[in-house]
Amino acid sequence: MLLPPLLRLTGLLGLFAWTHCLAPAAPRPAELAPEDTPAQGDESSSETASSEGLRPVSNWLEAQIELARRGFSSGSIDGVRGAQSAAALRAFQRNAGLEETGELNPLTRENLLLTAAPLTTHNFSTEDLAAIQPVPDTWLGKSELAALSHGSALEQIAEHYHASPNLLKKLNPHLIWNELLPGALIQVPAVAKITPSGRVVRLRIGLAAHELEALDENGRILLHFPVSIARNVEKRPVGELHVTVVIADPNYTFDPVVFPESPEAQELGRKLILPPGPNNPVGVAWIGLDRSGYGIHGTPEPEKVGRTESHGCFRLANWDARTLVELAWTGLPVVVEP
């Protein structure tokens, strides 16, 4: 859906100088790659919360889902204990006054109680399937669309439920994703819209930890998200910045000068305006900062968040960017730590 004229203009003016953030990302060093430790317990469990009350999470899949409900994002929910899941759990432990182990030890499980069944179902509607539109490979092709929508049913549902595509395939082993019809019923993580218990008064970005946290006036963590940072150290701003603009569903200005490695860009030789949508290069949100060329934004590739790096911007999974854009405000301090 296109932005209203005034908002669209604001988005274009704001994004005009910021397109360098989306140059091809470079892999993180191997030592920073997330762990691939198998989940504890039955990672595909669909056990419901006890009718007699809450119960502790029993494995990493349930932990990721419950943490996501509380604003502690592990990135894409996959049921595997990786670096991002451990970081989200440490943030939860810090808030709860527990030892920050990043492990599902007995005391942590006692404090991390399921607030609802970990899994639910999604019934594909006609509208769901009609909204899917293949995304062209070229910049020109993308600019000619009315919206950069989800390119497949798997991508659409993975983003909606904050899930890894591989997890969805595992939960629904007999589903043929490219042959779905209205009425198809699938199993998905039972995540929900996040409503923080306080007002966000400061954002903290930890460069070494690849994490972004929203804090309240008492320093309590309201939100914890994995984030991608700049590959080049000299492009990592350290200190206090401030939010200058908050735009949901922005357009994107493609400038071929920013992409000298792209044959298409050099052949085009002109700027293009790409429409809003989840497959927009800055995803579903742009939060501009008072440092030229820097902002916090979403991405059409959530699996790469925290695992690859940008040319300077702070990149979040679209669902985390959507949460943050609704809570950010002009003037909001953003403290960037080494």
Q: Provide the β-strand partners of residue 239.
A: 336
Single-letter code of the amino acid located at 180: L
Looking at residue 229, its pLDDT comes to 85
Looking at residue 43, its pLDDT comes to 38
Looking at residue 236, its pLDDT comes to 66
- CATH 3.30.420.10 assigned to domain 5-25+195-337? The reply is no
Looking at residue 313, its pLDDT comes to 85
* E strand intervals along 44-114: none
> Which two structure tokens, joined as six digits, stand for 69?
């409900």
Looking at residue 260, its pLDDT comes to 86
| Domain range summary for the chain, segments of one domain joined by + | 5-25+195-337, 38-111, 120-189
The count of other CB atoms within 10 Å of the CB of residue 35 is 11
The count of other CB atoms within 10 Å of the CB of residue 118 is 25
pLDDT along the chain (338 residues), means of 10: 38 41 36 33 41 79 98 97 97 98 97 96 97 96 97 98 98 96 97 93 95 97 92 70 97 90 91 97 96 90 77 86 98 96
Looking at residue 7, its pLDDT comes to 38
b/e map 64-90, b = 16+ CB within 10 Å: bbbbbbbbbbbbbbbbbbbbbbbbbbb
The count of other CB atoms within 10 Å of the CB of residue 48 is 14
Looking at residue 259, its pLDDT comes to 85
Determine the straight-line distance between the first and last CA of the chain, rounded to whole angstroms: 38
How far apart CA 64 and CA 325 sit, in angstroms, is 22
Looking at residue 261, its pLDDT comes to 86
> Which two structure tokens, joined as six digits, stand for 142?
């993308």
How many alpha carbons fall within 13 Å on the CB side of residue 68?
Answer: 29
Q: What is the DSSP letter of 40?
A: S
Question: Which residue reads 């504890």 in tokens?
Answer: 40
Reduce the secondary structure of 287-302 to three states and give it as a string: EEECCCCCEEECCCCH
Looking at residue 237, its pLDDT comes to 75
